């Protein structure tokens, strides 16, 4: 991502990364060693998310807790079918705890996200997006928006969300985004930054409202990919 940013964006990313490193509490879990590389790789990805906003948007992030790999949570939560509950352990890549709670991420997943190992998947962008969503007090897929954007945001996101939830694919949105509106926003954020051209072409209205909220146009940064070559045929 770094080489794709304009010079001014790179300078701003460095400033925000520095601020996140110095102002947030960084902790390691499960005996993991928190090196500078670990902190910078995570902070820089979180910084990209608010490149067009401000670090004040992370005022609910009290700390960043890094696990070496996938973590397991326990506790009662909604079960697999409506009206049920479960306390089974759940393997998760990261968490954004409520209120001023920390963001928790698995380092192996954060590193994979930095390398764009799996297009459309980025645990750091996902969990920090949840924190942006919480700023207005509720995790409902609608972050604090400019007043003139709100109605359009809700209409556009609801239309895509309802299709995915009804089993009508809207690629590049993933089905996980239909878990609830909060997950929809977090997944849409991952796709917006990781597959911006695909999103801009397939879901122009969704891409547009995300561009206006994040005040960034990531599709503009992506190099145009050559069309796939026709397979050669043996004569």
Contact residues toward Zn ion (CB under 5 A) are: 183, 186
- Minimum distance from residue 185 beta carbon to Zn ion (Å): 9
Distances (CA, A) of 117 to 14, 108, 121, 204: 23, 11, 8, 25
Distance of alpha carbon 83 from alpha carbon 114, whole angstroms: 38
Pick 51 or 134: Cβ nearer Zn ion: 134
Distance of alpha carbon 186 from alpha carbon 144, whole angstroms: 14
According to DSSP, the residues that pair with 73 across neighbouring strands are: 90
- Minimum distance from residue 135 beta carbon to Zn ion (Å): 16
Pick 2 or 175: Cβ nearer Zn ion: 175
- Minimum distance from residue 186 beta carbon to Zn ion (Å): 4
CA atoms within 13 A of residue 80's CA, in its CB half-sphere: 2
Distance of alpha carbon 54 from alpha carbon 144, whole angstroms: 13
Pick 194 or 200: Cβ nearer Zn ion: 194
- Nearest residue to the partner Zn ion, using Cβ: 186
- Minimum distance from residue 128 beta carbon to Zn ion (Å): 11
According to DSSP, the residues that pair with 72 across neighbouring strands are: 91
Q: Using an 8 Å Cβ cutoff, are 40 and 17 in contact?
A: yes
Pick 48 or 123: Cβ nearer Zn ion: 123
């Amino acid at each position: 991502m770094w080489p794709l940013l304009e010079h001014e964006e790179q300078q701003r990313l460095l400033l925000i990364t520095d601020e996140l490193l110095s102002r947030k509490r960084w902790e390691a879990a499960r005996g993991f060693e928190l090196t500078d590389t670990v902190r910078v790789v995570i902070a820089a990805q979180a910084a990209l998310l608010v490149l067009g906003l401000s670090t004040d948007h992370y005022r609910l992030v009290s700390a960043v807790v890094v696990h070496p790999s996938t973590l397991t949570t326990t506790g009662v939560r909604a079960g697999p079918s409506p009206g049920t509950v479960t306390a089974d352990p759940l393997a998760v890549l990261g968490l954004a705890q409520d209120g001023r709670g920390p963001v928790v991420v698995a380092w192996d997943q954060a590193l994979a996200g930095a390398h764009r190992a799996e297009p459309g998947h980025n645990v750091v962008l996902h969990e920090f997006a949840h924190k942006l969503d919480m700023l207005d007090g509720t995790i409902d897929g609608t972050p604090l928006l400019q007043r003139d954007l709100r109605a359009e945001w809700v209409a556009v996101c609801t239309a895509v969300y309802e299709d995915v939830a009804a089993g009508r694919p809207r690629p590049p949105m993933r089905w996980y985004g239909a878990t609830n509106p909060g997950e929809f926003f977090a997944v849409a954020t991952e796709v917006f930054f990781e597959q911006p051209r695909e999103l801009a072409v397939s879901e122009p209205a969704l891409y547009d409202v995300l561009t206006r909220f994040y005040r960034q146009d990531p599709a503009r940064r992506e190099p145009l990919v050559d069309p796939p070559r026709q397979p050669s045929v043996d004569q």
